[in-house]
Amino acid sequence: MYIQLNDEQKMLRDEVRRFADEVVKPIAKETDEKGIFPTDVIRQAGEMGLTGVAVPEEWGGAGMDVISYCIVVEEISRVCGSTGVILSVNNSLVCDPIMKFGNDEQKELFLKPLAAGEKLGCFALTEPGAGSDAAALRTTARRDGDDYVLNGNKVFITNGTHADVAIVFASVDLALGHKGITAFLVPAEIDGYSHGIHEYKLGVNGSGTTELAFEDMRIPAAFRLGEEGEGFKVAMSTLDGGRIGIASQAVGIAQGAFEEAVQYAKEREQFGKPISSFQAIQHYLADMSTELDAARLLTWKAAWTKMNRKRFTLEAAQAKLYSSEMAQRVTNLAVQIHGGYGYIREYNVERYFRDARITEIYEGTSEIQKMVIANWVLNQG
Ligand code: CAA
């Protein structure tokens, strides 16, 4: 197997790294501390094609491949986890399912502006009583003539505060369990759509997490994404792609923390010499570097599988599980190498440590990834 980025991917990485260092990084601390949604950064990212990386150009995207998408999320997350997840959600949880399940009218109306960064999307699956057990959702969609009428509540919706479009999952018949779940494209300005509280979180504070409430929200049947009852599969296959995005986010956060730790270890002197000369610190850095490479390779393998095979459920779950847990270990060691300075806000590793934590939770917890992997190993392999 030959593992090397091609020239286009290398150019993209350099361009996105420059954008991340020059535009995203200078405001990353403030984005986190004040919980500010980085609207202007996302607008600029859209102009660069980063809001629809793998969407074909005819539908408003950059027309690149899935590994390029991983590079974008990693490079942005290397300086700001909040901006990383905002882009990941728009790319893989919103543009991707419209590409896959949408018809041409829906692509024209929704995908084009979302991929071009003129609009922002969110993915409304989770409910107060339906987190890991996504099929237990209670939002309903009642058919009424040419419309559906939706009622229900969603929680923990990333981008929810600023999204113009939500992909909403609701049941046309609760008695059918997951076979009743149906996906809808919902413009946020529609009557009956409202935001609940804006959540204050441990990390990724700029990503605008909110509740959504739908009260007698009338959606044209033309905005149904896929068939009635196909929504659970839309959600699950979309999350397979989303998990590659979160794996990339975890790799990016860990990479950022690692670079800060290497720099600090070279500069910080104790006992009359740089702490990088101590074997304990060297072993930490060796472990961090090795685990980072392993996670990145698993993530790119999942991306490669997505580009080459119909199902990539196993590879995406493995990449997300390993990368998110790696990010905990690497950011933890980055704090440890910084000692007391790692625990204060002035140093970025404190933010990386907090931002890494959510990667083990959203888009399927580590426990859910293990369930998916075990199911694949035992029943599908
Ligand atoms: N692709 C396509 N179809 C799939 C699939 C996949 N990856 N996974 C399951 N399915 C299909 C199955 O084939 C099955 O189809 P049939 O009815 O035709 O047999 C159907 O879906 C039901 O499958 P299961 O019986 O396996 O479903 P389950 O109810 O046991 O749930 C689960 C499986 C893996 C636990 C799933 O509920 C899950 O992934 N839960 C976690 C939810 C999650 O990740 N939430 C994240 C919210 S979004 C978010 O976090 C975004 C954000 O803000 C950043």
Distance 234 CA to ligand 1 centre (A): 9
Please spell the DSSP secondary structure of 216-258, one letter per residue: EEEEEGGGEESSTT-HHHHHHHHHHHHHHHHHHHHHHHHHHHH
- We find that the CATH architecture of domain 7-119 is Orthogonal Bundle (1.10)
H/E segment holding residue 155: strand 147-157
**pLDDT average, residue stretch 227-234:** 98
User: 122-229: which CATH number, 2.40.110.10, 1.10.3720.10, 3.60.15.10, 2.60.40.10?
Assistant: 2.40.110.10
Q: How far apart are the first and last CA of the chain?
A: 21
pLDDT band at 202 (very low <50, low <70, confident <90, very high): very high
Per-residue model confidence as pLDDT tens digits over 69-128? 999 999 999 999 999 999 999 999 999 999 999 999 999 999 999 999 999 999 999 999
Residues in the chain: 381
Distance 132 CA to ligand 1 centre (A): 9
Identify which of 45, 69, 44, 43 has the alpha carbon closest to the alpha carbon of residue 55: 69
CATH topology of domain 232-379: Butyryl-CoA Dehydrogenase, subunit A; domain 3 (1.20.140)
15 catalytic? Reply is: no
Per-residue model confidence as pLDDT tens digits over 235-255? 999 999 999 999 999 999 999
**Is the Cβ atom of 6 under 6 angstroms away from ligand 1?**
no
Q: How far apart are CA 156 and CA 162, in angstroms?
A: 13
- pLDDT exceeds 80 at position 296: yes
Per-residue model confidence as pLDDT tens digits over 9-44? 999 999 999 999 999 999 999 999 999 999 999 999
Distance 233 CA to ligand 1 centre (A): 7
Q: Is the pTM of this model over 0.95?
A: yes
Cβ pair 210, 160 in contact under 8 A: yes
Q: How far apart are CA 294 and CA 288, in angstroms?
A: 10
**pLDDT average, residue stretch 279-308:** 98
